Amino acid sequence: MQKASTTIPAGAKFIKVPTLSRWIVVPTHPEGYQDIARAPEQWLSVHKAIEENLQAKYTTMTATAEARDNIQIPPIKGQLTRLLDELVPEVHDEIKATFDDEFPSGEEEWCSFVALPSIIKMVARISNRVLVGQSLCRNPEYITGCINYALEVFSMAYIISAFPEPIRPFVNRIISPIPRRIRSMTTFLQPLLDERRTKKGDKGDDYQPQAIFLNWLADTAEQREKDDREVVLRTMLVNFGSIHTTSMTFTHALFSVLSHPQYIAPLREEIELCIQEDGWTKPAIDRMRLLDSFLKESQRFDLMTILIGNRLAVEDCTISGTVIPKGTMVAANMVDAHFHPSMWGETADEFDPYRFIKLEEETGKVIKLPTSTLYTMTFGYGRHACPGRFFAGQEMKLLMAYFLHHYDLKLETKHGERPNNFWFGMGNVPNRSAKVLMRKRKEV
């Protein structure tokens, strides 16, 4: 993408990029995505793009008009974000419990773990502490189901899209594991919904539900007259949208930390100072400015994908003076955004963990881990930016702080170099087989 950008004619506003399934139109400058993001849904539809990319009517079951009301969004933007002060200690408690279960606390010798699959499992459990509560998040069968659901959605979307539209329903009925997965996840979630309904009926106005996403979602569903199946599907959808993206983002960052070991000491110094003064709390996590800058730089530098923010033109429309025909898929170019010299200067191609601290000191511009801009697009941009990015940011900072505070870590590669990423189409996945060596720090 970077090499091809040098061949774009002067004055061109959009280019076409080939993918495995279709051509996608992207602006030639990051600022050009502004008009795409601002376009109304009846012109450029994010829902239609998701439905096509994920084959949603067969996978996530969210392609109906009823499902497009996104009842999962209000509790994410509302309680989940507003109650972060209360939720951070819960997340820390689950991180501690996860490490105690996965890594023996008395281990003083180096031991290794395969990074990405281990982190996926950890993030699934930690996230679900807030999504469904302590008892279910510690159920291995439930956590495995959450993890496998995302893999099933991606694989089925890829398979189904390879067939002509008329026979896709038949192919889906024959080979899809997703209906069985929904039934399985319902057996875990339905008892919690039934218990909530019983307690609410018994206690009336005195009912104080547990502060978990499932309860907030159930409240929203009742207000909008949705049934329990919708609550189950949306809970699965939130898990689908959070576990693997958070895990891959975090694993990229962990590999970046360990392949730049000179930054471990200053990161630890900041972490230890903050938790000594404020404990494992949100104020302490918020004060970890170097850690925040490091993770944000990893997001900028270690791209998860080349294209993001897809929209499908549902009618002919004019964007930035250019006619976009109906049926065209448009998106943002993350390579251009995250490495554009107009924003990042001559060091755009260098990894600098202090970059966002310097940016604030030199320009007054504050870009933190959850911040979404035209030049930092890991969480998307505009009104459709990831609604859970504030929770995800706290979760990743907490997990990295816990790793660095409690453990010595190094990459199990020949010279400590970063393992090669795996590119599939437009996606960039951290090396799935790379191992990390760890041991308990004696001084903690």
Interval 49-93: pLDDT, tens: 999 999 998 998 875 655 568 899 999 999 999 999 999 999 999
Q: Is 400 within a domain?
A: yes
Q: Is 4 within a domain?
A: no
Alpha-carbon distance values, 291 to 15, 254, 264, 299, 406 (Å):
36, 12, 10, 12, 15
Q: Is 9 within a domain?
A: no
pLDDT at 245: 94
Going by C-alpha positions, the residue among 244, 240, 258 that lies closest to residue 434 is 258
How many residues are present in the chain? 444
60, 63, 67, 71: CA torsion to nearest 10? 60
pLDDT at 64: 61
Q: What is the per-residue pLDDT across 353-408, written as a single tens digit (0 to 9) for each?
A: 999 999 999 999 999 999 999 999 999 999 999 999 999 999 999 999 999 999 99
Q: What is the CA radius of gyration of the chain?
A: 22
* Residue 386 annotated in ligand binding: yes
pLDDT at 65: 55
Q: Is 3 within a domain?
A: no
Q: Is 10 within a domain?
A: no
Q: Is 427 within a domain?
A: yes
According to DSSP, the residues that pair with 424 across neighbouring strands are: 427
Q: Is 27 within a domain?
A: yes
- Count of helix runs (H) and strand runs (E) in the chain: 19, 12
According to DSSP, the residues that pair with 410 across neighbouring strands are: 437
Structural domain that includes position 381: 15-440
Q: Give the helix, strand, coil percentages of the chain, each rounded to 5.
A: 60, 10, 30
pLDDT at 6: 65
pLDDT at 351: 97
Going by C-alpha positions, the residue among 358, 247, 253 that lies closest to residue 298 is 253
The parts of the chain modelled with pLDDT lower than 50 are: none
Distance (Å, whole) CA 130 – CA 146:
14
Q: Is 1 within a domain?
A: no
Provide the number of structural domains found in the chain.
1
Q: Pick left, alpha or beta for residue 380 (phi over 0 → left; psi -120 to 50 → alpha; otherwise beta).
A: left
For the domain that residue 169 is a member of, what is the CATH number?
Answer: 1.10.630.10
Going by C-alpha positions, the residue among 391, 395, 332, 407 that lies closest to residue 49 is 332
pLDDT at 204: 80
Tokens of 288: 């970890």
| Burial bucket for residue 405 (CB in 10 Å: 0-12, 13-18, 19+) | middle
Distance (Å, whole) CA 247 – CA 124:
9
